[in-house]
Amino acid sequence: MGIVSRGFQGRRGGDSERLPPGQYLTDGFPVLTAGPTPRVDTGEWTFTITTETGESRTWSWREFQNLPQEHPHTDIHCVTRWSKFDTDWTGVSLDTLLADVDTSADYALAYCYGGYSTNLPLQDLQEGRAWVVHEFEGEPLPAEHGGPARLFVPHLYFWKSAKWVRGIRLLDHDGPGFWEQAGYHDYGDPWREQRYRGD
C-alpha cells in the first residue's frame, strides 16, 4: 500500500485497479439508512463545529451557501460492497469550515439530524479530503441521500459520510459513532478492507 491513494492511479490500470478489494461496481445509487429519513428544512438547518474547549461556530444555510463552493468528483465505496465511480458533488471543504477554528484536537465526531453519528481522525477531514455537500450531479441533494447536506469523505467507506449532518465535535479522545459501536471498523479504509472491528 503506497502513500498515494490508489483511487488516483486507477484509470491507467482500468476498472479493476480502481475497485477496492471485495467491492463490485454499480451504476445505481443505493440508499442505506438506519431508521427513518429526517426531513430538514433549509430555513431551520444549521451546521456547528464545536471544539474540545467548548467553543463553537455555527453557519446558517445562507451563510453556508455563501462560502466558497467546490466540486469534488470521485468514486465512492460502501461497506456493503457496492462502489460507484465518477460521482459529482457540490459543497464546502472542511478546510474552509475549519479555517478559523482554533483547535488542537485529534478526533472528530460528526452528528446528524435523526441521531446518527460517526467518528474520524480530524486529519481525515482536512487536506482537501472532506466536504459538506448539498448537490449531487448538479441537483439539490435528495433527502434520502442526506439532503439538505451531508458529510462527504470519499476516501473512507461511505458510512463515514454522515447524511443530514448537523455538526462536528472536535475531541481529544476517539470514541465510536453509530456503526462503530455496532462493530464496524473504527477507521474504515476501503483499500485495506477495514469493514469490521478487528479487520
Ligand X SMILES: Nc1nc2c(c(=O)[nH]1)N[C@H]1C(S)=C(S)[C@@H](COP(=O)(O)O)O[C@H]1N2
Binding to ligand X by CB under 6 A, coded x per residue (else -) over 76-115, reads: --x---------------------------------x-x-
Residue 194, binding choice from Mo ion, ligand X, none, Cβ under 5 to 8 Å by partner class: none
Q: Nearest 5°: CA angle at 39, between 79 and 166? A: 65
Residues pairing with 24 in the sheet:
82
Of 64, 131, 159, 184, which lies in the binding site for Mo ion, with binding defined by CB under 5 A?
159
Q: How far is the CB of 177 from ligand X (least distance, A)?
A: 10
Of 134, 145, 166, 195, which lies in the binding site for ligand X, with binding defined by CB under 6 A?
145
| 155 lies in the site for ligand X, by CB under 6 A | no
Alpha helices, DSSP H, located in 14-133: 15-18, 61-65, 94-98
| 34 lies in the site for ligand X, by CB under 6 A | yes
Residues in 36-55 that interact with ligand X by CB under 6 A? none
Residue 182, binding choice from Mo ion, ligand X, none, Cβ under 5 to 8 Å by partner class: none
Question: Which amino acid is located at 133 in the chain?
Answer: V
- 148 prior amide bond cis, ω within 30: yes
| 67 lies in the site for Mo ion, by CB under 5 A | no
- Which residue of this chain has its Cβ atom nearest to ligand X in the complex? 116
